[in-house]
Amino acid sequence: MPPQDLSALQATIASCAKQVGIDTLSPDFPVLNIRNARSSASISLYGAQVLGFQPQGKHELLWLSADARFAQGRSIRGGIPLCWPWFGPHPDNTDMPAHGFARHRHWRLDQVSGDDHCTRLDFSLPSTEDAATLWASPTELTLTVIVGPALELALTTTNSGSAPVQISAALHTYFTVSDIGAIRIEGLDDTLFRDAVNGDRICRQCGPIRFHSELDRVYHDTGADVVIHDPTRDHCIRIGKGGSRSTVVWNPWVEKAARLGDIPAGAYRQMVCVETANADHNRVALLPGESHCLSTTISCEGAGS
């Protein structure tokens, strides 16, 4: 499906034209640039993917690869990809795309509202024939992004069919850090996790998370806030969440970053993923007519300027 018509986009943002502009990163890849008195952000209509968020007077909080690829059918490396309606490999069919298909589709901007200090954008994922071949269950998917003192995302799934459905999902957030070896992550102490780097062993977190090598973990049965402490930048990034029982923490380190092909040499040291999710046994069951909202609030605490 092609991206939303430019004239339709301009009409939608007209009431907030002082805060929201339209740019293109490559042909057929419109990007919304948001700037108000409290922060700035950018959002790709492809994948409804937030690419950047910077509170006023603070560092940029999201990491976007300098080698990110903007092409139909490719994932954009960085920002906040939307993993839906499954997280990781498809539960039954390995030929299906990893992390679902929502991040590989052009979304529709339905509404923009706000004032000088806060901007709200509402998106929806249009139905397409090719998506129906990947996901037969009738569902409606919307995303609300609020750009203000904090960045808020709410991904809502509604089961519009006549049978129950199960979904797993993640707000796969890439954060920028001064150096992966200098940070620590708190909020997951004493939480069980699946260690994908070590044969999917189930382990228990002891103390804060620190990084010395590749790390890929799904923390289960946790609704706690997670905090990235970055002493070099003298700030903390707080990740609050709602409707989420999993938190994913990931850094590819040297060898995997090289294999991925869209992360510059050494750039893995300036990023870490902390993902608000429902994965593994924390997937969500929806009866007909039911909705579920997966949400996160990202804020910066401390000097950090």
- Tell me the range of 22-31, 87-96, 219-228 where mean pLDDT is highest: 219-228
Q: What are 156-194's pLDDT values in tens digits?
A: 999 999 999 999 999 999 999 999 999 999 999 999 999
- Residue 285 contacts by C-beta under 8 Å, 6 or more apart in sequence? 164, 165, 166
Phi-psi sector, 131: left (phi>0), alpha (psi -120 to 50), beta: alpha
Peptide bond into 89 cis (omega under 30): no
Query: Please, are residues 86 and 100 in contact by the beta-carbon 8 Å criterion?
Result: yes
Specify the DSSP class assigned to residue 56. T
Burial of 271 (0-12, 13-18, 19+ CB in 10 A): buried
Residue 247 has pLDDT above 60, yes or no: yes
Question: φ, ψ for residue 270 (rounded to 5)?
Answer: -105, 15
Residue 304 has pLDDT above 60, yes or no: no
- In whole angstroms, give the CA distance from residue 53 to residue 296: 14
- In whole angstroms, give the CA distance from residue 133 to residue 272: 33
End-to-end CA distance of the chain: 41
Q: Cα 109 from chain centroid?
A: 17
Q: What is the pLDDT of residue 92?
A: 79
Q: What is the pLDDT of residue 110?
A: 97
What CATH number does the domain located at 6-302 have? Answer: 2.70.98.10
Q: What are 15-68's pLDDT values in tens digits?
A: 998 999 999 877 789 999 999 999 999 999 999 999 999 999 999 999 999 999
> Using 50, 70 and 90 to split pLDDT, how confident is the model at 303?
low
In three-state secondary structure terms, 104 is helix
Q: What are 225-246's pLDDT values in tens digits?
A: 999 999 999 999 999 999 999 9
Q: Report CA torsion sign: 160, 223, 56, 177.
A: negative
Q: What is the pLDDT of residue 3?
A: 84
Q: Which of 275, 281, 290, 301 is catalytic?
A: 275
Peptide bond into 3 cis (omega under 30): no
Burial of 145 (0-12, 13-18, 19+ CB in 10 A): buried
Q: What are 106-160's pLDDT values in tens digits?
A: 999 999 999 999 999 999 999 866 667 788 889 999 999 999 999 999 999 999 9
Q: Is 290 a catalytic residue?
A: no
Where along the chain do its domains lie?
6-302
In three-state secondary structure terms, 207 is coil
Question: φ, ψ for residue 142 (rounded to 5)?
Answer: -130, 155
Q: Which of 99, 106, 172, 235 is catalytic?
A: 172
Q: Is 106 a catalytic residue?
A: no
Specify the DSSP class assigned to residue 259. H
Cβ burial 240-255 (10 Å sphere, 16+ → b, else e): bbebbbbbbbbbbbee
Radius of gyration, CA atoms only, the chain:
19
> Using 50, 70 and 90 to split pLDDT, how confident is the model at 94?
confident
Q: What is the pLDDT of residue 302?
A: 85
